[in-house]
Amino acid sequence: MIGYRAMLDVPRKLVRHLARLLAAQRRLLGTRRRTRALMITAPVELVHPGGLLNVVLLPSNLIAGAAALHPSMRQLTIPLPQPPTFVRPRLALLSAATLLVPALIFFQGAAGRPGRGWLAIGLGSVVLILLVTVRMVGLVGRIETQAGHLTAMVRLDPLTGLADRRSLDERMAEAITRSRATGEALFAALIDLDHFKRYNDTYGHQAGDELLTEAAGASSRA
């Protein structure tokens, strides 16, 4: 066992001597090399678990965690009156992100490190990305228009243009949930037409439909 341990100590001693030699060599380096070493190791020290970047990361994490204690956070669970639509800034951000590739190609070409055919590749990428973006804008606009028509057909009464009973029930449930969460007062008004059945039977269904349409228009304008 003593011989086996002695054999294991030999590589350890060699590693220690090698480390001492490397340390002595570093101390003998000139100012220029020490400056280069500092420039290389400075970013590493910033992102190191014990680096200076933690001075910014730790307070930001604390602030983000404290934001969950704000009373307005409970409003995140309130159902939206309608699903979110495709926002134009998102498409602009997506296009800007895809344009980073040709921008990098142009930068490399301007910095004197161009690849083969970098100008043609960069211009072709820009044109292709812009064409796809324009096409996406047209498709998204058409989808939004069709979705609006379908929503109107499903949720609105075709005669009066007002919300039907199913849509009214959904809106009332959402309003009650929002009122309970925020503490705001909720008011509901019901409008009834007296003797409408008698009027409809006397003057006909067309006259009754016209009466309903005029009453709905008057209530909407009010």
Confidence of residue 79 (pLDDT cuts 50, 70, 90): low
Q: pTM score > 0.75 for this model?
A: no
Structural contact between residues 71 and 183, judged by C-beta atoms closer than 8 angstroms: no
Identify which of 93, 180, 185, 191 has the alpha carbon closest to the alpha carbon of residue 133.
93
Lowest mean pLDDT, pick from 87-96, 110-119, 163-172: 110-119
Those residues with Cβ within 8 angstroms of residue 82's Cβ, 6 or more apart along the chain or in another chain: 151
Tokens, residue 209: 């439909």
Give the side-chain half-sphere CA count within 13 A for 197: 0
Give the side-chain half-sphere CA count within 13 A for 175: 10
Lowest mean pLDDT, pick from 31-40, 60-69, 72-81, 127-136: 31-40
Domain ranges across the chain:
2-69, 85-186, 189-222
pLDDT, position 82: 63
> What confidence tens digit (pLDDT) does each residue in 31-49 have?
445 444 444 444 444 445 5
- 3-state class (DSSP) for residue 129: helix
